[in-house]
Structure 1
Amino acid sequence: MTAEVISLGCRLNIAESEIIRALVAGESDVVVVNSCAVTTEAVRQTRQAIRRARKARPDARLLVTGCAAEIEREQIVAMPEVDGLVANDRKLDARAWNVPLPSPTRASTAPSAHTRAFVAVQNGCDHACTFCVIPQGRGASRSLTIAQVLREVELHVRQGAAEVVLTGVDVTSWGDDLPGRPRLGALASAIFEAFPELPRLRMSSLDGIEIDEQLFDLFATQTRMMPHLHLSLQHGHDLILKRMKRRHLRHHAVELVQRLRQLRPDLTVGADLIAGFPTETDEHHAANLSVIAELGIVHGHIFPYSPRPGTPAARMPQLGRPLIKQRAAQLRAAAAEQRDQWLQSLVGSTLSVLAEADGTGYSENFARVAVPVGTQRGTILSIIPARLNEGLLS
């Protein structure tokens, strides 16, 4: 059997898992779980994935890396299914996997396994949100240089990727640790200039308060920049945002989206929202619900709050689990309503769709669309959907 890499969690993990998969490709008896620890539920899913992997591959060497392996080290290493851990800051180092050293460019051993190529331009985080343990698992913020990013993008473009997604732990902090402190807009502009043949560039989750003017202009005017803005919003009430130690308030997100939509009406908005943060009242929750409609959030990532040991939020007055689950369900329902209305509005319009391997594809604004049978993965085609069925345009 071939080596297997199981990826959980964020898009950064997906990008890193592709590199790990290439590094261990020659190992036939290895299973790697690239874990997540962003919530208690994520840790539970990591443990579940480890058990499933051991059951499926009882004779394989099972190694765990990622944030759970860093933050929950003692608990993970104590699992009888686990043969070893690889530190999060070493998981892209061939020496950690006892395999031959790759060439200097990381992605050179990692062919694009997806139509969309995820390029990790940044890792770690310098902020201290009161609910978050990721800095413990990822360390301080550090950026690839523009030259390093361009080399990785070039390899993916050569391998046929039609869309590149820039990802990281805190993508909009890219460049803070580089000479001259370049901003993310400069990196995106360099990619567009270097690769005129690249049809699509997409951003992963962004901190709206850190979007620089050059990046704003690209969202507003560059047709190859996908009209899909996913905000690391977290909440819709200012007091909760302050208690989370976020750097933005509600009006910052509202003003940003309004400005962009005036210049690019086809922009769609996604957001991360936390339900049931400590001290959250009915009024706070109502504001969280209302921000979904005010921003027109159609790609909603809803997280029920769960306390993470060692974080300031874990020491705040907690809400009961049933109430948290109820509020999360209400947020999901509100986001689903916005999404259905948006998808229905796309019926009869012409969409540019990038085909995946499963008979569907994604439009520029990240609507999922059925593609004709036999369409080759990576093809971009125009489709006019006639109907909406369970979230799929066809």
Structure 2
Amino acid sequence: MKIAFYTLGCKVNQYETQALEQVLTGRGHTLVPFDGEADAYIINTCTVTAVSDKKSRQMIRRARKAAPDAVIAVCGCYPQTHPDAMDGMGVDLVSGTGDRLGFAGLLERTWQERQPVTALDNAFDRRSFEILPAGGLEGRTRAMLKIEDGCVNFCSYCIIPYARGRVRSLSPQDTRRELERLLEAGYREIVLTGIEISSWGQDLPGGQTLIDLLETVCRDLPGEVRIRLGSLEPRTITPDFCRRAAALPNLCPHFHLSMQSGCDAVLARMNRKYDSARYYESVQLLHGYFDRPAITTDLIVGFPGETEEEFQQTLTFLHRCAFAAMHIFPYSKRPDTPAAKMPGQVLNAVKEERARRAAETAAEMEHTYLSQWVGQTVPVLFEEEQGGLWRGHTAHYCAVAAPSPRDLHNCLVQVQLEGLEGNTLKGVVL
């Protein structure tokens, strides 16, 4: 079959699409662009917001309209939580977030028999971590390695626990085995990702935590290999975590600490498991153990009930934390969550205006953070050439561009940083 993928949502979805691509090509199928002609179109969906649902439906309809005779297969979080939404959309194969390896066989069966198939389970019944092949089919620079699935935090705005089920962890032995396979394939940077990696180990014997896994992963690694972490909860950052993490030379000093709000009243309504004081404690700990750590975060503005005073508290808190970069989202009502039913829903115009103000603050902080690297010499892992410049990232995930007559793809080289243009550091390869 000629198979086309379209992926919405988070890095875990991207990872699982890459795994499915490897499985299907290994079974003799061919990958083609989604906007081209294919025998099967696979939409890997997201359901984190109502907007995500809408985009998923749009892509399903687009594929069906463009290819009336093709197999339309839908998987991911949207059908897992809303299977009835697939009715009447011309979907041939409906799957969810489980048994991704079995999905390949179901796709072949649907193509051969031309009979609709629905294969969904109860996410909370899952007890084991499904090991999928890590790494993409091209690039060979940075690869994602999924080490955890599931979440039991039940934030009031989020439906993902129902889509992914309880916490399930990839064992240290299997993690190390997958890591070594990626290194043999030529990858120089591995991003440890998952739905909620701070909960890694909760389901494993022995009381293991994420820092135990990091020590296993980083043991005896070559110096040119980087390990980068996905999103973390503030509770992960303790003195013990920082002391042990700072002793791992391969670990990138880039920490994405999920925040969502800098106002304690809003955090309580969100059912987050920390307050601003605990969050700031994590920020201070990281600065105490790492040289200029890149601390990045997510922010939701316009959460139900958020007043102007509460938003101002968040803006003040952002300045205290001095983030290197931020992702800012106006609150999007997610049906079937407690937040969707809360009083005090904020007008869209107000949410957009607050997002703009937060973005201005974020841009100022990013410029301040990047400016401190001008004049420094740092190793850069280069990924691709664009417009005559090689582009890559530092261990702190600062974007760098530098000219070079050499092919620098997947090369880790020293660069003298000489200036800043927008949010990209300009440098000279040494």
TM surpasses 0.5:
yes
Match of 2:393 in 1: 362
2:348 equivalent to 1:321: yes
User: Matches of residues 116-195 of structure 1 in structure 2 within 5 Å?
Assistant: 116-193=142-219, 195=221
SS class of match (1:360): strand
What is the letter of the counterpart of residue 361 of structure 1?
Answer: G
Q: How many angstroms does 1:292 deviate by? A: 1.9
Q: Tell me whether 235-244 or 288-297 shows the greater mean CA deviation.
A: 288-297
- Give the direction of change, closer, same or farther, for the CA distance of 1:56–1:300 in structure 2 (3 Å limit): farther
SS class of match (1:384): strand
The question of whether the paired residues in 2 share the 8 Å contact of 1:24 and 1:97 is answered with no
Q: How many angstroms does 1:238 deviate by? A: 0.7
CA distance in 1, matches of 2:235, 2:134: 34
- Give the direction of change, closer, same or farther, for the CA distance of 1:31–1:217 in structure 2 (3 Å limit): farther
What is the letter of the counterpart of residue 357 of structure 1?
Answer: E
Structure with the greater alpha carbon radius of gyration:
2
Structure 2 length as normaliser, TM-score? Answer: 0.84
Give the unaligned 5+ runs of structure 2.
Answer: 31-38, 110-129
Match of 1:19 in 2: 19
- Give the direction of change, closer, same or farther, for the CA distance of 1:8–1:377 in structure 2 (3 Å limit): farther
- Give the direction of change, closer, same or farther, for the CA distance of 1:259–1:197 in structure 2 (3 Å limit): closer
SS class of match (2:257): strand
CA distance in 2, matches of 1:225, 1:313: 36
Match of 2:122 in 1: none
CA distance in 1, matches of 2:384, 2:354: 36
Match of 2:124 in 1: none
Match of 1:73 in 2: 83
Q: How many angstroms does 1:71 deviate by? A: 2.3
CA distance in 2, matches of 1:187, 1:357: 31
Match of 1:32 in 2: 42
2:271 equivalent to 1:266: no
The question of whether the paired residues in 2 share the 8 Å contact of 1:185 and 1:213 is answered with no
SS class of match (2:258): strand
Structure 1 length as normaliser, TM-score? Answer: 0.91
2:364 equivalent to 1:337: yes
The question of whether the paired residues in 1 share the 8 Å contact of 2:237 and 2:286 is answered with no
The question of whether the paired residues in 1 share the 8 Å contact of 2:237 and 2:285 is answered with no
Q: How many angstroms does 1:260 deviate by? A: 1.6
What is the letter of the counterpart of residue 361 of structure 2?
Answer: A
The question of whether the paired residues in 2 share the 8 Å contact of 1:112 and 1:159 is answered with no
Q: CA-atom RMSD, angstroms? A: 2.4
SS class of match (1:129): coil
- Give the direction of change, closer, same or farther, for the CA distance of 1:391–1:58 in structure 2 (3 Å limit): farther
CA distance in 1, matches of 2:70, 2:416: 47
What is the letter of the counterpart of residue 365 of structure 1?
Answer: H
What is the letter of the counterpart of residue 367 of structure 1?
Answer: C
Match of 2:54 in 1: 44
Match of 2:121 in 1: none
Q: How many angstroms does 1:370 deviate by? A: 1.3
- What is the number of residues matched between the two proteins? 389
Match of 2:100 among 91, 97, 101: 91
Cα distance per residue 1:189-221 (max 9 Å; x no partner) = 001115345621110100011335543224433
Q: How many angstroms does 1:97 deviate by? A: 3.7
2:426 equivalent to 1:390: no
CA distance in 2, matches of 1:352, 1:16: 30
The question of whether the paired residues in 1 share the 8 Å contact of 2:93 and 2:107 is answered with no
Match of 1:350 among 368, 377, 383: 377
Cα distance per residue 1:239-287 (max 9 Å; x no partner) = 1111111111101111111122122132011111111111111111112
Percent identity over the alignment is 33
Q: How many angstroms does 1:54 deviate by? A: 5.2
Q: How many angstroms does 1:118 deviate by? A: 0.6
CA distance in 1, matches of 2:69, 2:396: 44
Cα distance per residue 1:304-334 (max 9 Å; x no partner) = 1112111111111111111112112221221
Match of 1:6 in 2: 6
What is the letter of the counterpart of residue 333 of structure 1?
Answer: E
Q: How many angstroms does 1:84 deviate by? A: 2.4
The question of whether the paired residues in 2 share the 8 Å contact of 1:23 and 1:109 is answered with no
Q: Tell me whether 268-277 or 323-332 shows the greater mean CA deviation.
A: 323-332
- Give the direction of change, closer, same or farther, for the CA distance of 1:312–1:45 in structure 2 (3 Å limit): same
Cα distance per residue 1:120-150 (max 9 Å; x no partner) = 1000111211110001111111111111111
CA distance in 2, matches of 1:66, 1:173: 21
CA distance in 2, matches of 1:59, 1:328: 43
The question of whether the paired residues in 2 share the 8 Å contact of 1:172 and 1:211 is answered with no
SS class of match (1:290): helix
The question of whether the paired residues in 2 share the 8 Å contact of 1:192 and 1:198 is answered with no
SS class of match (1:106): coil
Match of 1:375 in 2: 407
What is the letter of the counterpart of residue 53 of structure 2?
Answer: V
What is the letter of the counterpart of residue 158 of structure 2?
Answer: C
CA distance in 1, matches of 2:185, 2:65: 35
- Give the direction of change, closer, same or farther, for the CA distance of 1:245–1:387 in structure 2 (3 Å limit): same
Q: How many angstroms does 1:351 deviate by? A: 2.5
Q: How many angstroms does 1:77 deviate by? A: 4.6
- Give the direction of change, closer, same or farther, for the CA distance of 1:391–1:55 in structure 2 (3 Å limit): farther
CA distance in 2, matches of 1:209, 1:376: 38
Match of 2:274 in 1: 248
What is the letter of the counterpart of residue 74 of structure 1?
Answer: D
What is the letter of the counterpart of residue 307 of structure 1?
Answer: K
User: Matches of residues 207-286 of structure 1 in structure 2 within 5 Å?
Assistant: 207-211=233-237, 213-286=239-312
CA distance in 2, matches of 1:293, 1:17: 37
CA distance in 1, matches of 2:83, 2:139: 30
